Amino acid sequence: MTAITARAHTNIALIKYWGKKDPKLILPYTDSVSLTLNDFYTDTTVEFVDELAADQFSLDGQAQVTTKITPFLNLVRDLAGINLFARVESTNHVPTAAGLASSASAYAALALAASRAAGLNLDQQALSRLARRGSGSATRSIYGGLAIWHRGEDDATSFAEPLPTPDLDLAMLVVLVDAGPKPISSRNLMANTVETSPYYPAWVTHNQQAAQQMVTALAQNDFAAVGHLTEQSSMQMHATILASDPAFTYWTPETLKAWAIVKQLRADGIPAYATMDAGPNVKILTLGEQVPKILNALQADFAGRVLTTTPGPAAKVIGAQHD
């Protein structure tokens, strides 16, 4: 069969996804809104091979166990009506498991490459639903720019779709507080937050409202509102995590330092808003013309550890090799 290579980019949730009401189908408790990023992505090649006796998976050239990807590939095999095992080779152009949504780009790329390699030609909504079964955030990485993931009520209604591009020159800086693996996976911490945090029900209510407010703010090109909602959703998510039992936080002293810099920038009239996913790294949402000023403010404490990026493209096939 044909070996297909797909590329998908990471995304950062401006309005957060945190908590599954259906862990098997990965259905979230709230809608979420994200920005796909241009400079961080995963390339994945998939080929279904007659001679294989089991799935094979390598990441960045290193063989990996297939515990996570085989159930996902089974979904593709079921859709395509095939029973061949697959060879999967992925390269991450993003720090893996460091709060930079590497699982989102990974499963979005896998969904596209595997489905095409199996002979399927799924539309973006169907790809979004498929990618969701690997990692919730991956449902949004099928799309470029801004996307909203509708929480839905079942597999058919929980998917992402693109949002109109606002007349805003959005840019993002990523402050690499710690590029290493996370001490607790987001999947495990998410489940514990839902189960034990007394703040979680209130978070669900507020975050669902915030998603709709974000759609409105983007449509109105209101960057101050976009930034405020972004920062609030992140702060409230991490407060909910902190209230879990046992208590936990991804925040480090350097995380707090980065947030303090962002707060001071805003006090000085520079539109900059901080957000974090499940990890210690701080992302700063701003406008393109402000990037040099923010880089300068970060220089003393984070020299060499700041990445800049802009809105990125949708997942796409970048190669096909026939037997």
Q: Is 317 exposed, middle or buried (CB count within 10 Å of its CB: 0-12, 13-18, 19+)?
A: middle
Asked whether the predicted pLDDT for residue 97 surpasses 90, the reply is no
- On whether both 217 and 141 belong to a single domain, the answer is no
Is 0.85 surpassed by the pTM of this model?
Answer: yes
- On whether both 193 and 296 belong to a single domain, the answer is yes
- On whether both 146 and 176 belong to a single domain, the answer is no
202 in a structural domain: yes
Asked whether the predicted pLDDT for residue 216 surpasses 80, the reply is yes
Residue pLDDT, tens place only, 263-279: 999 999 999 999 998 88
State residue 322's pLDDT score.
83
Report the percent of the chain where pLDDT is more than 70: 98
Residue pLDDT, tens place only, 114-151: 999 999 999 999 999 999 999 999 999 999 999 999 99
Q: How far apart are CA 268 and CA 243, in angstroms?
A: 32
- On whether both 282 and 188 belong to a single domain, the answer is yes
- On whether both 177 and 301 belong to a single domain, the answer is yes
**Count of domains for the chain:** 2
> What are the C-alpha distances in Å from 14 to residues 24, 153, 172, 214, 311?
25, 22, 11, 9, 13
Q: How far apart are CA 143 and CA 60, in angstroms?
A: 24
CATH number at residue 251: 3.30.70.890
What is the band of 98 on the pLDDT scale with cuts at 50, 70, 90?
very low
Of residues 181 and 298, more confidently modeled:
298
Residue pLDDT, tens place only, 36-51: 999 999 999 999 999 9
- On whether both 106 and 197 belong to a single domain, the answer is no
Domain that holds residue 48: 3-165
State residue 272's pLDDT score.
98
322 in a structural domain: no
319 in a structural domain: no
Average the pLDDT over 59-88 and give the result.
97
